[in-house]
Structure formats: structure tokens, C-alpha cells
Structure 1
């Protein structure tokens, strides 16, 4: 995991160095307009995630499902349902 967002970056791509198989870039959280399910526009906090991977080591489908799961977890995190240690 590489946190380039701490420097204000909103879009970048990691370079994989041997012996790494993948690197996940987490960018800055910024407010963006989003179209909601009811067609209304709302301002929401958004973050870009970029997963660079070595296809010789990892399957892109598996990595895509990993990013989908990370997105699902982040979207359904709340103070009521998530305990903080």
C-alpha cells in the first residue's frame, strides 16, 4: 500500500519493483459531485484507488475482485457498524 494522498495527489500509478507482485495507491479524499440513485446530485467524499499488478504473478480478475471488495467495505463503513480499536 502506498499512500500518495498524504501529499495531495488525486491520481497516480505505482511502479512495481521486484519482488513485489502488486501495489495499491490510495489518493487524497476530495469532495466531488455525484449523481445519486434518485437522480439528484449530491456532494460526496471520493477517493481514487489504483492497483498496479504483475500479470505474470497475479490474475487481473482476482485483483479486480479484490478492488471491488475494498470498495464495498469502504462504502458500507459507518460509525454504527464499524468498531474502532
Structure 2
């Protein structure tokens, strides 16, 4: 199975968790997914009052410089780790 196939499979698996991961785990998944699909964060930072948007932006921005393939590998590994807890 290619990296892209494993990545897409992991993304589908993450959507089918029966329990909700905690906020830190969700931010980690979000940041790795965005880094893998878009690359480095190229958006402007949300305002102070947008707490959720700011947290997501900061999580993604923290992955700056990670290659998209490396982010895909890390995303697949993180989903596999969380599957035992939430699937």
C-alpha cells in the first residue's frame, strides 16, 4: 500500500472513532493533516477572540518545516496509536 493510500485510510479511520479524542490529540491530528495536505501554514493568525481558530493555527504552525510525506507518516502513526483508545 502506498503512503497516500495509507494516509487516506488513516483519515477515514480517524473519522470513525467511536469516542472523541481529547483536545490535544485532536489538535495534533489536525496539524499533521494540514501539514500533510497543504504544507507549511500560509494563513494569517486568527484574532485574539477566536480561541479555537488560534489553537488550530498555532498547532499547524508548529509543524512548519516538516515535509509533507513525513507529516503523512506521522499522521498514520498517530491514528494507529489513537485507534486502540478510541475505535
Q: Which has the higher helix share?
A: 2
Larger radius of gyration: 1
TM-score computed with the length of structure 2 as normaliser: 0.31
Q: Which has the higher strand share?
A: 1
